[in-house]
Structure 1
Amino acid sequence: MAERLEEALLERLREDPAAPCIWWKGSWWSREDLSRLVRSCESTLARSGFGEGMRLAAPLPNSPLLTALSIACWRLGGAIAPLNLKAGIQGMQRTLGMLDVHSAVVPAEKPELASALAPLNLPWTAASAEGPLGDFTGRGGAPDGADTAVVFSTSGTTGLPKAVPISHGNLLDNTSAVTRHIPYLNPGGVLLNALPNFHTLGFSVAGVLPLLCSMGQAILPTFIPAEAALEAIRQAGVTGIVAVPTMISLLLGAVGRGGARPESLSFIISGGDRLNPQLDRRARDLLGAGLLEGYGLTECSPVVSVNPDYERRKLGTVGTVLDSYQVQVRGPEGQVLPPGQDGVLWVKGPSVTSGYFRDPANSEGRFVDGWFDTGDVVRLDDEGFVTVLERATDILIVGGFNVYPQEVERVLQEHPAVHTAAVAGEPNPLTGEIVKAFVILQEGASVTPKELVDFCKERLAHFKVPRKVRFVTELPLSSTGKVQRRALRDLEA
């Protein structure tokens, strides 16, 4: 296996230069079309002073330019830093200050982003989604090693920004392990690339992986409206989708409103957040493919586990661990627990980053002797299937008992009237906290709070049953579709 991404990717692009590579706005780019844009970007970046160990900020939508820029950065020994276009000016300034980048490339249609860069005296250039890249001069930035390929920014549990440097080896290992694990990632297939590229799942699995395994990819700059995404899936002949549950729900809604079912689709991988099991039946009925749920973290490049195929999958689990990992489930004192017991998941392997970017304080305790503390409470069954119970920081303590919100949410979502549910803790002078549920109902459905509480009483231990139910029309979501429990708590406060 090649040791660097650009070596492996350019080798694939040279194998059959005329082969379709990227579907973009109704037509296919060949591998040579992409290679030509890579060469153009590389030349412009080199003239700007970009070189080994430097980082290029890229607050860009999914596009051929982002793909080409990434490969060009790697050719020059540097790294790409995808950023969230919707993070807001202050959020982007904090992140850019932390990353110490050489320069930034902003979308030509959003020149106002330059206002976020002005206080930082950060050089920038604007470009269209198809390129070319305009000439500019960067500032360098203190270089790091040439092994870093991508730097992802995340707020973590404190709300403060931190950065995760992912190496060439991390990404190559993870994409290779995913390809071995899932039998549907074959040459000639077409993967949907519509997840945000500043999220590791979107950048790596939806963007880099199809290039490495000679699949085509249909790039969408945005998933909204879902009707347009559905039509793109049909036109491009997409065979596989990698998505978060929110995107899957939007697609189901588009088909339910009369959109054409995509006949080419054969598999759907869901990650990034908990999955409502009811979505699987609807996906099979309306999209023609069931769901393979997986689990990962930015620090793991990102995939840790996924249901391998439709014959062996276990709904409600996030599948089995990729073969390049060692895993341990540890108890409160750090002791390794046997299968079937709940504990915090620790992982080790070549997909795991070595620590946070220039942040030894946050790295300490999370990265220990090659092991990474995911912070997630899980249960492994005797066949190796993983059930994620909850983030350790989101555990509710009710009368001294641990309550995992995801377990309660899963039960609530089994009720036929419930579309989506999220659970948070509410302070209580007697028990410390009580469980409160926020519920979105299915369209046209009706149920009372008491009926949902009684439903849970039949299926959960008494301390896990919601004591309050609030009906809402939407839940606070992050830019990657995850429920923000902190925002739920703040709402109630």
Structure 2
Amino acid sequence: MGEERRMTTPSQTIVEAGTRTSAQTLAEAARKWPDATALLIDGTRLTWATLDAEARLWARGLVAAGVRPGAHVGILMPNCAEYVRLFYACGMIGATALTINARFKDDDLGYAIHHSDMDILFIGGQAREYTDFHAMLLRLYPELAGWTGAPLALADAPSLRRIYNLCDPRDHGWPDGDTLMAGAAGVPEDEVTRLRDATSPASHALMMYSSGTTAHPKACMLTHRTLGMIGAAFAERFHLAPGDSVMNPLPFFHMSSMLPMAACRASGAAQIATAHFEPGEALRLMEEERVTFGYLSFPTLVNQLINHPDFAGRDLSRLRYLHCVGPAETMQKYTRAFPGAQYINAYGLTEATGVPCYTDPEDPAEEALSVSGRPFDGITGKAVDPETLADMPPGERGEIWLSGWALFDGYYKDDEATARALVDGWLRTGDMGHVRADGRIVYDGRLKDMLKIGGENVAALEIETWLCSHPDIQIAQVIGVPDDHLFEVAAAYVELTPGAHITPGEIVDYCIGQIASYKIPRYVRIVDSWPMSTTKIQKFKLARDFTPAEKIDPKTRAKAG
């Protein structure tokens, strides 16, 4: 491994960012750029000064509700201004924001609430026509029927004391935003200041559930220090400053939004977000807000933009960078569609505080088509033989390992999984690839039995377990195959029980409404034999030669049903 990789050190700006919490950095942004836009989401525009003031009010409400430093505050909402206020409010009082995947179905949600020792849960009714979180909780905890706010004592969620239902026009009698604000009036301003300044950068800012090779996701703990440093590093690499704006329609429960939010906080740039991506509206905003960074990440979003009838007529000349991850051929198409913007590739995972590796704007533009990127200064990558754990020479394929300041703080209540992931100061990513002599990383697929669907890590075991619950299926094996929209989708090979008759479409129907939509297999093949070693099915020998004609669209089948 080259010495250049070993010797990179973070700049003073990045180091100093690690000495402040997210709330302290927000307060600094409010002092530096009080009238600049911090967040624009679905018509709500918040300046840095306004966001800081409103988050302080929400923090007072949390204190009145009994939230104390170290508490776990669950957030289960679509993207909205309330989400951002609540995230910062948690940081102001030393609580950990548990950002829950809004795509979770009942089983994953129930697991997360119980496993995380969640104290308080905030749900949002803004997107009830798509996902009704109130109804989900009633299914999980029938004893909530008729609940009006008394302290909870749920057998399956013993730590959960209260639920707040925000922005839901239906009156369920549960505590809501008005309830929280009424309590805030009784908490003095200086109490929030005291708690904010007493919170350590080493404390946990975020807890995020990331799927692993087990059926249930694992909770990654991320500190204020690493979140602040990675935000500053991003802003530094891409020269973000007040007047810049980042179009980022990705969900707030994902690091693909939390990282750009941290970069905007560090630089005074504006973050433009939305609860539901609509390409025509996104193009309007990109023109009117003079967007300089399109942080779109996935082909499914970029394709919607360039195929929209308004695309050719919009002035996107201010766009300097376009971030997306996908096949080189697809990215070449995007560079032609956005000739004034530089394409940015990347590599990352939640356990490394999101994305610690991006292509460098100073590198030749064409290199981004084949190279995932250069780690931020102070972060090192290497490739390791996954069996012998010997370091691989530069350019030779192995498991990607990372070290440096961006590593997560471990998995909550899972010391064994943490010990497997963090080895002698290195993070075992479970990803395959190689590291060049100049330190740049080239990603080349997953080592673990995992899929990367639309930016979400999905355990093949989770899908296989559900498929095998069907009485007509006795064996299911799931692999990932490339996809133009979601980067990768699930393909299922299934062996039926003797005498059973079921079609691939009916197998997909069995998944609809029962597992998250992005996890539903798009391809299904029924087989009666398997490629075997002595005792195990050899997944790597399963054919990946799927054709467009075989693809099954769950949305089309759901509508037809």
**TM beyond 0.5:** yes
- Give matches, 1:345-364, under 5 Å: 345-364=400-419
1:194 aligns with 249
Deviation at 1:369, TM superposition (A): 2.2
* 1:423-443 deviations in Å (ceiling 9; x for gaps): 969743599424323344xxx
2:504 aligns with none
Amino acid at match of 1:312: P
**Rounded Cα–Cα distance in structure 1 between residues aligned with 2:320 and 2:136:** 42
Q: Using the aligned pairs only, state the percent identity.
A: 20
Q: Residue 243 of structure 1: SS of its match in structure 2?
A: strand
Q: Residue 346 of structure 1: SS of its match in structure 2?
A: strand
Q: Does 1:135 align with 2:179?
A: yes
Deviation at 1:409, TM superposition (A): 5.4
**Rounded Cα–Cα distance in structure 2 between residues aligned with 1:50 and 1:420:** 40
Aligned residues: CA RMSD: 3.2
- 8 Å contact 1:423–1:437 — kept in the other structure? no
- 8 Å contact 1:240–1:266 — kept in the other structure? yes
Deviation at 1:355, TM superposition (A): 1.2
Deviation at 1:249, TM superposition (A): 2.1
Q: Residue 253 of structure 2: SS of its match in structure 1?
A: coil
**Rounded Cα–Cα distance in structure 2 between residues aligned with 1:285 and 1:382:** 30
**Rounded Cα–Cα distance in structure 1 between residues aligned with 2:532 and 2:409:** 42
2:373 aligns with 319
* 1:57-95 deviations in Å (ceiling 9; x for gaps): 111222222111111111101111111223123321111
* 1:314-350 deviations in Å (ceiling 9; x for gaps): 1122011221212221112011111011111111111
Q: Does 1:378 align with 2:481?
A: no
**Rounded Cα–Cα distance in structure 1 between residues aligned with 2:69 and 2:334:** 45
1:293 aligns with 345
Q: Residue 92 of structure 1: SS of its match in structure 2?
A: helix
1:276 aligns with 327
Deviation at 1:390, TM superposition (A): 1.2
Q: Residue 134 of structure 1: SS of its match in structure 2?
A: helix
1:428 aligns with 531
Range that drifts further, 105-114 or 79-88: 105-114
Range that drifts further, 334-343 or 377-386: 377-386
* 1:112-149 deviations in Å (ceiling 9; x for gaps): 423444524641112239xx933259xxxxxx997000
1:10 aligns with 27
Q: Residue 53 of structure 1: SS of its match in structure 2?
A: coil
Q: Residue 251 of structure 2: SS of its match in structure 1?
A: coil
* 1:231-264 deviations in Å (ceiling 9; x for gaps): 2322322111212222222222225876635333
Instruction: Select the structure with the greater relative contact order (CA < 8 A; seq sep ≥ 6).
Output: 2
1:235 aligns with 288
* 1:204-235 deviations in Å (ceiling 9; x for gaps): 22x22212211011121122x32222223223
* Unpaired stretches in structure 1, ≥5 consecutive residues: 138-143, 397-404, 441-469, 477-493
- Give matches, 1:450-469, under 5 Å: none
Q: Does 1:125 align with 2:125?
A: no
**Rounded Cα–Cα distance in structure 1 between residues aligned with 2:345 and 2:310:** 22
**Rounded Cα–Cα distance in structure 2 between residues aligned with 1:300 and 1:27:** 31
**Rounded Cα–Cα distance in structure 2 between residues aligned with 1:86 and 1:409:** 22
Q: Residue 394 of structure 2: SS of its match in structure 1?
A: coil
Give the 3 Å change call, closer, same or farther, for CA 178–258 of structure 1 in structure 2: closer
**Rounded Cα–Cα distance in structure 2 between residues aligned with 1:330 and 1:429:** 27
Amino acid at match of 1:128: C
**Rounded Cα–Cα distance in structure 1 between residues aligned with 2:86 and 2:305:** 30
Q: Which of 151, 156, 171 is residue 212 of structure 2 equivalent to?
A: 156
Q: Which of 123, 133, 146 is residue 113 of structure 1 equivalent to?
A: 133
2:230 aligns with 174
Range that drifts further, 283-292 or 345-354: 283-292
Deviation at 1:284, TM superposition (A): 3.0
- 8 Å contact 2:210–2:218 — kept in the other structure? yes
Amino acid at match of 1:212: A
- 8 Å contact 1:23–1:236 — kept in the other structure? no
- 8 Å contact 1:306–1:319 — kept in the other structure? yes
- 8 Å contact 1:425–1:436 — kept in the other structure? no
- 8 Å contact 2:220–2:409 — kept in the other structure? no
Q: Which of 20, 42, 46 is residue 25 of structure 1 equivalent to?
A: 42
**Rounded Cα–Cα distance in structure 2 between residues aligned with 1:29 and 1:102:** 28
**Rounded Cα–Cα distance in structure 2 between residues aligned with 1:259 and 1:97:** 50
Amino acid at match of 1:232: L
Give the 3 Å change call, closer, same or farther, for CA 170–419 of structure 1 in structure 2: closer
Amino acid at match of 2:334: A
- 8 Å contact 2:36–2:242 — kept in the other structure? no
1:208 aligns with 262
Deviation at 1:35, TM superposition (A): 1.9
Amino acid at match of 1:237: R
Give the 3 Å change call, closer, same or farther, for CA 358–27 of structure 1 in structure 2: closer
Amino acid at match of 2:551: V
1:438 aligns with 546
Give the 3 Å change call, closer, same or farther, for CA 384–257 of structure 1 in structure 2: same
Deviation at 1:184, TM superposition (A): 4.0
Q: How many residues align?
A: 418
**Rounded Cα–Cα distance in structure 1 between residues aligned with 2:212 and 2:313:** 38
TM-score between both structures, scaled by the size of structure 1: 0.76
Q: Residue 318 of structure 1: SS of its match in structure 2?
A: coil
1:87 aligns with 104
**Rounded Cα–Cα distance in structure 1 between residues aligned with 2:163 and 2:248:** 26
Give the 3 Å change call, closer, same or farther, for CA 395–5 of structure 1 in structure 2: closer
**Rounded Cα–Cα distance in structure 2 between residues aligned with 1:310 and 1:226:** 30
Deviation at 1:171, TM superposition (A): 0.7
**Rounded Cα–Cα distance in structure 2 between residues aligned with 1:212 and 1:439:** 46
**Rounded Cα–Cα distance in structure 2 between residues aligned with 1:9 and 1:179:** 15
Deviation at 1:163, TM superposition (A): 0.4
Give the 3 Å change call, closer, same or farther, for CA 133–312 of structure 1 in structure 2: farther
**Rounded Cα–Cα distance in structure 2 between residues aligned with 1:345 and 1:327:** 7
Q: Which of 249, 273, 276 is residue 219 of structure 1 equivalent to?
A: 273
Q: Does 1:472 align with 2:551?
A: yes
- 8 Å contact 1:249–1:279 — kept in the other structure? no
Deviation at 1:372, TM superposition (A): 1.0
1:35 aligns with 52
Q: Residue 107 of structure 2: SS of its match in structure 1?
A: helix
Amino acid at match of 1:29: L
Give the 3 Å change call, closer, same or farther, for CA 174–419 of structure 1 in structure 2: closer
- 8 Å contact 1:21–1:215 — kept in the other structure? yes
